[in-house]
Structure 1
Amino acid sequence: MKPEILIVEDDPKISNLVALYVKNSGYEALQAYDGEEAMRLYSEQKPCLIILDLMLPKISGEEFCEWVKEGREDDPGVIMLSAKAKTDDKISGLKLGADDYVTKPFSPEELMAHVEAVLRRTGRVCQKIVLNGLVIKPRKGEVWLYDQLLELTHYEFNLLYFLMENAEHVFTREQLVQQIHPYGESEIMGRTIDAHIKKLRRKIERDPAKPERILTVRGMGYKFVQN
């Protein structure tokens, strides 16, 4: 699944224009036209970045930004996109927690350059992966099997994320060791990989004895199957 960007803008023409450029840049565009809808979409989708107008119906952009930034672990990037062009307005927006401030009228190409810069600067992991009934959300450290939240150890999470991120690729035990035990002794850690895989299968497979997601490739290693 592509990284998601939430566009909060009450003018449909501007919203659709920004969405077009967001999609053409390889992201998924979510669109909200007021502050309440923005809260709902954010809560459901947890986008990695928000492009936020300030003068919104129902709940203002400033209030929405405060709500997003207040005590939330996921802490998305926020770019304010506003006709408020005074220096005081920009300073106020940045003090609320915005990562950048772009004034209207604006160039869509310049806006996307700001988007790339914010994502690069903040180093956020945006990509959630949806494969074969599993959803893994690296920013939240969560794995869902359909509507069930799974309890995974740190090593199990990292191993599953790596396999899902590289679905259909076969990895040897030694290669997997380097991902989760980079300084471990390869022979000992190779057996540990087998143990991690066994535990993962108990949590994500209908029948761990007949796995459908993490498969053993005889004489080679393991791979995650993309159905």
Structure 2
Amino acid sequence: MRIAVLEDDTNLLELVCSILNSAGHSAHPFSSGKEMLHNLRRENYDMLILDWQVPDLSGTEVMHWVREKLSSTIPILFMTSRSGEDDIVAGLAAGADDYMIKPIRRSELVARVQALLRRAYPNQHMPEHLEFGRYIFETRSARLSLSGQFIDVTQKEFDLALLLFRNLGRPLSRAYILEAVWSRDIEIPSRTMDTHISRVRNKLQLRPENGFRLAPVYSYGYRLEQIPD
């Protein structure tokens, strides 16, 4: 999972990101609230971890923006040195899903992050069959069918198609798609992704008559849209 971390203490920021990366996530560090906000306008993240007090733009202000502009379901964990009940209640009321009091403990951080991700993405441990209209994904065998007819796709094409369908209506940045489908092999040429997108669009016949449309999002990435009947 891609997790954005806001913390102005460089040592703590490095520690939190190291813990998250070791747990199998992809941590993206930010020491400035304004820098994070600028990035959130362009990139997708599965979770946010916010320091409550950051000089230029507080975690609270970032959280308010996220809840207003982005998905209300994206999990947010806030870190604070305040242990007073009123402060914690205020943080949760502002839109946080959970909190941690500094100093941060490795095992507790991993446990809280995993719990929030399980709650926010209950389908992460996917069933063997997923249906989206006329499309059926068989996750164990990586087989895909449309109206009962199997479609010949590679593993990468299957992974890309499933990523798009599981994020219906959500604009996905090129960086997010790259990391989700090609993992850490980020040296692949840009045209490789575009080629796969084109193949998925053609092989799956993503057209209005089949209920879906794969559209580019200018200077950002792609979005799979469901067409109403």
Question: What TM-score range do you get, normalising by the shorter chain?
Answer: 0.5 to 0.7
**Aligned mate of 1:190, from 133, 148, 151:** 148
Specify the code of the residue in structure 2 equivalent to 1:190.
Answer: G
Gaps of 5+ in 2: 126-131, 152-160, 162-194, 206-229
Q: Normalized against structure 2, the TM-score is what? A: 0.58
Secondary structure of the corresponding residue to residue 42 of structure 2:
helix
- From the CA coordinates, give the structure whose radius of gyration is larger: 1
Gaps of 5+ in 1: 128-153, 181-188, 195-199, 215-227
2:53 is matched with 55
Q: Deviations over 1:109-167 (max 9, x none)?
A: 1111110111112336679xxxxxxxxxxxxxxxxxxxxxxxxxx547x65xx48x77x
Q: Deviations over 1:41-69 (max 9, x none)?
A: 22222211111101112111111111111
2:198 is matched with 204
Q: Percent identity?
A: 27
**Aligned mate of 1:98, from 73, 83, 96:** 96
Q: Normalized against structure 1, the TM-score is what? A: 0.58
Secondary structure of the corresponding residue to residue 29 of structure 2:
strand
Preserved CA contact (<8 Å) 2:118 2:124: no
Preserved CA contact (<8 Å) 2:60 2:94: yes
Preserved CA contact (<8 Å) 1:9 1:53: yes
2:66 is matched with 68
Instruction: Give me the whole-angstrom Cα distance separating, in 1, the residues matched to 2:55 and 2:43.
Output: 21
1:5 is matched with 3
Specify the code of the residue in structure 1 equivalent to 2:4.
Answer: L
**Aligned mate of 1:15, from 13, 16, 20:** 13
2:28 is matched with 30
CA RMSD of aligned residues (A): 3.4
Runs of 4+ in 1 over 4 A off after TM superposition: 124-127
